[in-house]
Amino acid sequence: MIVIKSIREMQSISESARKSNRIIGFVPTMGYFHDGHLSLMKIARPKCDLLVVSIFVNPIQFGVNEDFSKYPRDIKRDKELCESVNVDIVFIPNECEIFPPDFSTKVEIAGRVTECLCSAFRPGHFSGVATIVAKLFNIIKPHFSVFGQKDAQQLVVIKKMVKELNSPVEIVAGATVREQDGLAMSSRNEYLTPEHRQVAPVLYKSLLRAKDLLILGQKDTSVIISEIRKFIDSNGPFKIQYIEILNADTLESIASAKGKIIIALAAFLGKTRLIDNIVVEL
């Protein structure tokens, strides 16, 4: 495994690999790895000849008063974990090279996919995500890239960007990886107090209760959302930010559940913002 920090060097290696007909797989990350990150690398590994993992805490996807400066970082441990799953290249670019002082280009994804869920509470977030992913795709030139289902809206946004910009990158989705008690793995779980960590799995349990209601025949999404809210409110000191039931592919609102849907939510425990979702096919 090698570590690359130079954009030019990364581009040169990628171009050489493509000329040799080697398949490049790519997993973009902000580091501070957990088993969820490693699962994405394990999905990519058998599908490619050259597996590249990037580590870059992207400043332009953080809003005012968000946790950019406090976002957990441990590059040494991250490199060791990459090596443990046979990553070939860890790309750790310098922020000043990715975003020089005169940088002004942004990728904006318009429409429903950036108007729901997290968008209302994190203005500019998905523009920041799309911009850095587009840059990394241009640098690494992967044949495919793996993203986690836990960040469901991000996954839909990236798929839309790739389709509309005709990027020759296949987007592969990796299932959400959970702790034994059901809490979706996230680097931000590190922020939870012991007391909050104990009740955090309530969010996933609420989603499973919603799934049960669907299976039993309840299709009115407003009723299901109300039941999710009641369950969360009665089982911990959560501050719910949103609960939505949407078409899983387009993120359009639906009044009656049918087809492939996503049940997604965000809530605060203290100062820690948690998100989770499940996809259900009816």
Residues 6+ apart with CB under 8 A from 1: 79, 82, 83, 86, 87, 88, 89, 90
pTM of the entire structure?
Answer: 0.96
Q: 241-260, pLDDT tens digit by residue?
A: 999 999 999 999 999 999 99
- Split at pLDDT 50, 70, 90, the class of 80 is very high
Domain boundaries in the chain?
A: 2-174, 187-276
Homologous superfamily of 2-174: HUPs (3.40.50.620)
Say what the pLDDT of residue 204 is: 98
d(CA 111, CA 160) in angstroms, rounded, equals 10
pLDDT attached to residue 65: 84
d(CA 272, CA 196): 9
pLDDT digits over 91-137, tens only?
999 999 999 999 999 999 999 999 999 999 999 999 999 999 999 99
Average pLDDT over residues 149-169: 97
37 is catalytic: yes
Is the pLDDT reported for residue 64 higher than 90?
no
> Which class would CATH give 187-276?
alpha beta
**Nearest Cα to 242, choosing from 66, 112, 118?**
118
**Contact assessment for residue 236 and residue 269, using Cβ atoms and an 8 Å cutoff:** yes
Give CA–CA dist 197/204, Å, rounded.
13
Percent of the chain topping pLDDT 90: 99
**Tell me, what's the pLDDT at 218?**
97
**What are the pLDDT digits (tens) for 169-221?**
999 999 999 999 999 999 999 999 999 999 999 999 999 999 999 999 999 99
pLDDT digits (tens, 9 = 90+) for 36-58: 999 999 999 999 999 999 999 99
Q: Give the mean pLDDT of 212-238.
A: 97
Q: Of 34, 37, 125, 196, which is the active-site residue?
A: 37
d(CA 152, CA 133): 15
